[in-house]
Chains A and B, each alone.
Chain A
Amino acid sequence: MSEVYRKWGRSVRREGEQLVLVDEAGEAIESDALFRTRALGDALDLRSPDANAVDGAAAEIESIVERPLIIERLFVSEGAVAHQFGDVGWRENTRRVHLSIARPPLRAIFDFAEFRFDALRRALPALIRAGKERKPPKKIRVAEHLGAALLPLTAIAKLQSTAPHDGKGQAIREQLAEHEPPNWFRPSYRVRPRKAWFHLRVAPFGAIDDDVPEAVALLAPVSRREIRVLCVDGRGAYPITVALRPIIAARPAATWYPFGAGAFGAELML
């Protein structure tokens, strides 16, 4: 038996200085052994993404990044998407921001799903004054956008949050994220869907000590073994590499971030 998925999308993205408008539709047909995709060459009445909002968000980022910082990579996008899987159809609007801000040899990376840049405003002054690498402090808390990046990789109790549709049109139900995920993640019609936990959020536990040093930016993509982060300790700021130790406290936040199949912000103390 074959499963048929179709997707129609319109997007606007700022990539560096360029503004890219993309209009496309595609189909994925999956049987037991074979996965096929093709362009549909088909138009659907989709909302036009707001190019001015995208350009405005990029301009706002550029205004925040002051010398000696360099914008190494800037992707800001907005999209309108319609999906169809079998008889089920649904639509969504997306915003994404991916940034890499350098003060050589350091590079801070940020991913957001909103055009709000409070985390950037907090982190970049620390990047400007960052000193040499130090040993990690005994305890460290990580800002909510870093916690969201860590959530898919950490072995703490976390919940999948409710949402109307996964990549095969099924409802996503709230449940403890453990064992095999029941839902399918399909970031593009061109890739095979895979099982994943959606919209992870942490259950609060312990007490976060607001006086311990705070990691405010990722300096490298997270891995299962360690994180390399920019740490702020009073007026001091420095890079550290921390082995992924047990998490001793967690405080959930409401902002959603585009890591994996989605994760909500989480302040964590390690």
Chain B
Amino acid sequence: MLNNKEYLNKIFQSNKPLIIYKTIGGFDVYTDFKERIVLNSKNFKSFLNIKCNKLNSKIRELNCYVGFFGYELLCENINIKLPKQETLNFYPGLVYKPQTIIKIRKNITIKSLLKDFRKKIPSQKNYNYFYEKKFNLNLNEVQYSNLFKYFSKKIKMGETYQIKICQTYSNKSNIDSVNFFWKLMSINESPESFLIRDKDYSIISCSPEMLIKKKKNTIITKPIAGTLNRTKKMTTKYARSYFKKNEKESKEHNMIVDMERNDLSRICRSGSVKISKLKSVEKYRDLYHYVTEIKGLLKDKTTNHDIISAMMPGGSVIGCPKINTLKLLNSRERLNRNIYTGSFGYINANGDMHFSIIIRSILNFKKRSEISAASGVVIDSKPKKEYKENYIKAKSLLDLFKL
């Protein structure tokens, strides 16, 4: 019989579908999926409001659906149609119902609804992993600048106040996602990191951004707006004073704070929405972020779907105001965002949920890896700087392909 560690290593080395999710003090691994539901704009609402309420697992940690909602699904959910774009025909959204959870802390503990879960390991095969080191970028600097100028005009006319232009790097590859994920965690572990590995695709993310944390009737969001390229000698103290003094970063951040207060106010009791932590600085491998935490108390009878519709897609990665800015973005972006700026997380049977914004991620599908990054156009931004910022945001992921 395999012990816990041997079992875990075996499933990592196989191609067994699983999800790894960063949690406080370690990682949770979900596997032995009983259900796998492909979400679309037709079944999304009933999934959230009906199916999620019918969960009844004997093990509390397994009484949930884990998965992701893609960008297009979240747009359609708030009645924003995307025009025809270049697309991989990737899943609009996928959720899984796990029957086994492996908790990686100081020790490894396992809970499972299956008696013989240790035997459920696919036999080893050769998986033909390969990857190119080089990436193609969908927008070069000139194309980016042109788009930037177009959106700057729209800001001058008041049609948007802030808009995030997305760039996508892609290459040919079929990656060993679990291996990539642990490499990523060793260099850039961030609070919302996750991996999904399924038979036909994988997603690896070191997202730092929490969009929804709901426990009973309390809901918290923690938008990020403001990025500083981190050099070796830089201190958090320096970063704090940089953000404070930098008018452009401050204003960009202010706007996102008011927007997220608004989104919470749609579903929260009047007067309950409060800024709980204004403008803190968080440190990552290549950069510093400017972060605010906002809290509210949900109105009675707010459904899962009400919450998702008010909060997603997360405003900080779109721009402001949300609806018109989404329309502007979609009118100009030629490439489908797929998972980028969608959300990953779980919903429990009791309605508690936790979702991040999918950024800093690799989608590996159809022998292709893609990494997207976006930064904001506000009135004072410069195309060259924002272009570079996108590269910095993607860097720790791009670097994985150089090792």
Same complex origin of A and B: no
Give me the interface of B with A, judged by CB distance under 8 Å: none
